[in-house]
Each structure stands twice: as structure tokens, then as C-alpha cells.
């Protein structure tokens, strides 16, 4: 029997399942976008690293012409990856379905594209060495931050707990990796100068602490090969940690060898490149989870469509005398307890099961979105500080970090206090 001839309750039961399938198919496209964003972020992180090294001045081991040549290749590579991402985004913009949840994601994409449009001018300034290293680093960081915001909106809009869990793991890992890139740039500046200022030391400490926080959250949500790969990377982190400790001991009166900038850069770069392998493993897990859920939901929809069609045929008298319910019981025989027909009870069981499954999904989503809610809280606190005191985004974040370190509490706790104090002003 065609669906249009089914009784309304049965048509809507199937429509609910179809809607879930359509949501999963849209989510698969969003996850593919996240994979493109991940590749672009990594390319820009590499370009930012060599831009900082170039702008901080050459060393004997890395003459300026070699740095500029390497940087030109990395810029071309990032441009190619960006072109691929933009091509995918063009298709996404043409598909305006799936409601308000997609509006926030599209808005984040619009802002990211605005930032990406600034890259050609920034690259010219770096090539001409007409911009300080700190300013170039900050502008690259703005672009990357806008791309991470897209990943956040993708995770926040996902309605499947399994997919959301992987997206939360990927988001936090990408945040930790981005903080590692910022630490690399800051370290290059300090080691090249031979010492770190108090402000640079504080920033290095904050970046290391926030990396730890991001990677801890990642470890809560990741599993399998991606988690094992990260654990192996962590076991090889002692050389970076020793240079971190050295940076905190430097003073301007006794500068260290500026060649440490290259050693620091190489160690951090090897670590960040290894992190890219983890991102690839997470991307593969994301694709597998989407494929599995789509196939599973399609099969369930087909099963329910067949059963409900048989129910409708039986109710109209067109069905053969022997039809089975989902529990493999004869549907044309009276139930032992004499209450209703087996078919009616089977349909009610299906409706109850679907309702309970949706509730379990909501509960699982609430549990896995804790890390996303924390990021929302911190972002809101930063916006309030920017609005109230005219701070930059980085300065607002550093103020939250300092307050957290001074008070011995988490940045999230400080953000909650800031919101309580400033939200009503």
C-alpha cells in the first residue's frame, strides 16, 4: 500500500523516521565540511609558523631566501586547500534547508570567509616584511579562530549522540593543536630575542595550561586509534617541556642562544604534524559513524514502512489471513488478554519505542554537550569583557586565564562569575 493511503497516525510515524534520516544525511554533509576545515586550519598553521620564523629574522642555519622560498610553497599549499574548501561551501550555500539550526552554521561560515578574504593582503605584508611578527601571528590566529567557530557550530547543531561525541573530540583536539601553534610562534619570538618578557612568560604558561585542558576534554570523548595515537605523541613530549621550562628561566641580562628558536620551532612543528595524524583518524571515525547511522536508519525506515503497510492492508481487509507483527506473533488472532488486536498493540509498541529512543537520544546529547556549553560560557564572558572594557579578543581571554590561575579555579568558573557580574550592566 502507498503511504498516502495509510491512516494519518501511520503516515506521521513514518514521516518522523524520514525526518530523522534526512537530518542524518544533512549531518553527513556538515561532517564533510568539518574535514575540509580541519585540512585548511592545518595548512594555515604551517604557514603561520614559517611566517613567524621569517619575520623574527634569519639565522645562520636558515638564511632568509630559504625561509621565503619555503613560505611561498606553504602559502600556495594553503591557497589550494582553501580553494577546495570554498568549492564545497558553494554547494552548501545552495542548500538552504534544515531550518534554523543551519542558520547559525551558515553565519559562522560567512564570518570565516570574511577573514579568509584578508589573507592575500596579509601574505603580501609578510613577504615584504612590512608587518611585525606578533601582528602577523595575531591576524593568522583570527582567521584560524573563525574556522574553529565553524567546527563548533557544526558540533552544536549535530543531533546524533555518536556523531556529536566525535565532533566534540575533534573540536577540542583542534583547539589544543591551535594553542600549540600559538605557543610555537610565541616561543620563536622569545628564543630569537634570547629571553622572554614577563608578558610572554605568562602567555606561554597560559597557552600550555589551556592545551592541557583541551586535550583532557578530547581524551574524555575520543577512543580507539585516535586516542592511542595521541597517547603515543604525549609520551614523546619531554623535549618541548624542557624548553618551556627554560623559557620561564630566561632574563634579559643573560640572554640564551638565539639558535634555540630553530630547535624550538622544529620540535613544535614535529609535534603539530603528528597531531595532524590524529585529526585524520578522527575524520575517518566521523565518516564511518555517519555512514553507519544512515544505513541503520534507512533499514529501520524500510522495516517500519513494510510493517505499517501490512497493518493498513490488514485493517482494510486486503491482507492475507496470516500476518506477523514485529514480535513474530500472528496478528490476526486475538491476544490472550483480550485487549485490542495484536496489530494495534504492535503499532503502539512501535510508537512507544520511537518516543523512548528519542528521549534516550536527547539524554545522550545533553551528556556529550557539556564541553560545548562550557565553550559557549567562556565566549560569552569574553564578549562581555570586550564590550565593557574595549579589550581585544586575545586580551579578554588572557584576563580570564589570569583570573583562573590567581584564583585556583577553571576558566569556565571565572567566565560564570564574569557573566553574573556584567550581564545585567
Whether residue 344 is contained in a domain is answered as no
At residue 30's C-alpha, the angle toward residues 39 and 168, to 5°, is 75
Instruction: Please tell me whether residues 116 and 261 are part of one structural domain.
Output: yes
Instruction: Please tell me whether residues 94 and 220 are part of one structural domain.
Output: yes
Instruction: Please tell me whether residues 206 and 94 are part of one structural domain.
Output: yes
The tally of domains found in the chain comes to 2
Which comes out higher in pLDDT, residue 349 or 222? 222
The domain boundary, picked from 266, 293, 320, lies at: 293
Instruction: Please tell me whether residues 131 and 234 are part of one structural domain.
Output: yes
Residue 49's contacts (CB-CB under 8 Å, 6 or more residues apart) are 181, 184, 185, 188, 265, 268, 269, 272
Average pLDDT over every residue of 70-99: 84
Cα torsion 330, 332, 336, 341: sign: positive
The enclosing domain of 406 has a CATH number of: 1.10.10.10
Nearest to 291 by CA among 169, 166, 105, 172: 166
Evaluate if residue 30 carries a pLDDT over 60.
yes
Cα 189 to Cα 124, 129, 206, 344, 391, distances in angstroms: 21, 15, 16, 73, 23
- Give the model's pLDDT for residue 345: 58
Evaluate if residue 274 carries a pLDDT over 70.
yes
Q: Among 70-84, 136-150, 262-276, 373-387, where is mean pLDDT lowest?
A: 373-387
The domain boundary, picked from 293, 308, 336, lies at: 293
Q: Among 132-141, 163-172, 218-227, 348-357, where is mean pLDDT lowest?
A: 348-357
Share of residues in the chain with pLDDT > 70 (%):
84
- Give the model's pLDDT for residue 339: 37
Determine the structural domain holding residue 169 and report its residue range.
14-293
Instruction: Please tell me whether residues 139 and 245 are part of one structural domain.
Output: yes
- Give the model's pLDDT for residue 300: 81
Evaluate if residue 98 carries a pLDDT over 60.
no
Evaluate if residue 328 carries a pLDDT over 80.
no
Instruction: Please tell me whether residues 285 and 376 are part of one structural domain.
Output: no
Instruction: Please tell me whether residues 96 and 186 are part of one structural domain.
Output: yes
Give whichever of 165-169, 319-323, 389-393, 407-411 has the largest mean pLDDT.
165-169
Whether residue 375 is contained in a domain is answered as yes
Evaluate if residue 73 carries a pLDDT over 70.
yes
Whether residue 349 is contained in a domain is answered as no
Residue 55's contacts (CB-CB under 8 Å, 6 or more residues apart) are 126, 129, 131, 132, 133, 136
Whether residue 304 is contained in a domain is answered as no
- Give the model's pLDDT for residue 325: 42
* Residue 360 C-beta-side C-alpha neighbours within 13 Å: 7
- Give the model's pLDDT for residue 343: 54
Instruction: Please tell me whether residues 271 and 380 are part of one structural domain.
Output: no
- Give the model's pLDDT for residue 160: 85
Instruction: Please tell me whether residues 60 and 161 are part of one structural domain.
Output: yes
Whether residue 9 is contained in a domain is answered as no
The domain boundary, picked from 293, 320, 354, lies at: 293
Average pLDDT over every residue of 270-288: 94
Whether residue 392 is contained in a domain is answered as yes
Average pLDDT over every residue of 226-233: 95
* Mean pLDDT, all residues of the chain: 83
Evaluate if residue 212 carries a pLDDT over 60.
yes
- Give the model's pLDDT for residue 208: 92
Whether residue 331 is contained in a domain is answered as no
Instruction: Please tell me whether residues 278 and 392 are part of one structural domain.
Output: no
- Give the model's pLDDT for residue 24: 82
Instruction: Please tell me whether residues 121 and 211 are part of one structural domain.
Output: yes
Which comes out higher in pLDDT, residue 59 or 120? 120
Instruction: Please tell me whether residues 263 and 138 are part of one structural domain.
Output: yes
Q: Among 237-241, 278-282, 294-298, where is mean pLDDT lowest?
A: 294-298
Whether residue 164 is contained in a domain is answered as yes
Average pLDDT over every residue of 254-267: 93
395-405 pLDDT, tens digit each: 888 888 888 87
- Give the model's pLDDT for residue 21: 81
Evaluate if residue 114 carries a pLDDT over 70.
yes
- Give the model's pLDDT for residue 411: 83
Amino acid at each position: 500500500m502507498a503511504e498516502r493511503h495509510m491512516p494519518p497516525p501511520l503516515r506521521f510515524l513514518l514521516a518522523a523516521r524520514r525526518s530523522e534520516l534526512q537530518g542524518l544525511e544533512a549531518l553527513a554533509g556538515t561532517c564533510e565540511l568539518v574535514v575540509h576545515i580541519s585540512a585548511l586550519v592545518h595548512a594555515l598553521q604551517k604557514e603561520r609558523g614559517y611566517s613567524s620564523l621569517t619575520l623574527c629574522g634569519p639565522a645562520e642555519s636558515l638564511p632568509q631566501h630559504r625561509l621565503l622560498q619555503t613560505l611561498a610553497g606553504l602559502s600556495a599549499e594553503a591557497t589550494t586547500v582553501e580553494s577546495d574548501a570554498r568549492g564545497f561551501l558553494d554547494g552548501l550555500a545552495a542548500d538552504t534547508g534544515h531550518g534554523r539550526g543551519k542558520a547559525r552554521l551558515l553565519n559562522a561560515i560567512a564570518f570565516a570567509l570574511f577573514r579568509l578574504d584578508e589573507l592575500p593582503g596579509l601574505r603580501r605584508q609578510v613577504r615584504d616584511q612590512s608587518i611585525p611578527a606578533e601582528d602577523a601571528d595575531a591576524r593568522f590566529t583570527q582567521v584560524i579562530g573563525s574556522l574553529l567557530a565553524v567546527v563548533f557550530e557544526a558540533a552544536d547543531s549535530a543531533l546524533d549522540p555518536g556523531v556529536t561525541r566525535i565532533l566534540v573530540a575533534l573540536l577540542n583536539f583542534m583547539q589544543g593543536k591551535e594553542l600549540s601553534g600559538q605557543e610555537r610562534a610565541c616561543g620563536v619570538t622569545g628564543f630569537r630575542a634570547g629571553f622572554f618578557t614577563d608578558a610572554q612568560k605568562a602567555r606561554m604558561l597560559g597557552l600550555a595550561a589551556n592545551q592541557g585542558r583541551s586535550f583532557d576534554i578530547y581524551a574524555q570523548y575520543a577512543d580507539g586509534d585516535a586516542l592511542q595515537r595521541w597517547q603515543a605523541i604525549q609520551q614523546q613530549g619531554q623535549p618541548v617541556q624542557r624548553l618551556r621550562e627554560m623559557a620561564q628561566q630566561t632574563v634579559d641580562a643573560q640572554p640564551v642562544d638565539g639558535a634555540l628558536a630553530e630547535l624550538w620551532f622544529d620540535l613544535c612543528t614535529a609535534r603539530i604534524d603528528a597531531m595532524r595524524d590524529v585529526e585524520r583518524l578522527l575524520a575517518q571515525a566521523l565518516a564511518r559513524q555517519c555512514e553507519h547511522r544512515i544505513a541503520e536508519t534507512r533499514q529501520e525506515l524500510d522495516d517500519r514502512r513494510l510493517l505499517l503497510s501490512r497493518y493498513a492492508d490488514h485493517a482494510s481487509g486486503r491482507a492475507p489471513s496470516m500476518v506477523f507483527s514485529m514480535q513474530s506473533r500472528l496478528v490476526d488472532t486475538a491476544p490472550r488478554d483480550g485487549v485490542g488486536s495484536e496489530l494495534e498493540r504492535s503499532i503502539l509498541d512501535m510508537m512507544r519505542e520511537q518516543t523512548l529512543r528519542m528521549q534516550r537520544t536527547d539524554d545522550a546529547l545533553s551528556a556529550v554537550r557539556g564541553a560545548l556549553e562550557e565553550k559557549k560560557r567562556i565566549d560569552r564572558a569574553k564578549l562581555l569583557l570586550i564590550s565593557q572594557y574595549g579589550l581585544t579578543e586575545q586580551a579578554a581571554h588572557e584576563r580570564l586565564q589570569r583570573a583562573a590561575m590567581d584564583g585556583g579555579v577553571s576558566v569556565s568558573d571565572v567566565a560564570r562569575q564574569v557573566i553574573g557580574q556584567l550581564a545585567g550592566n
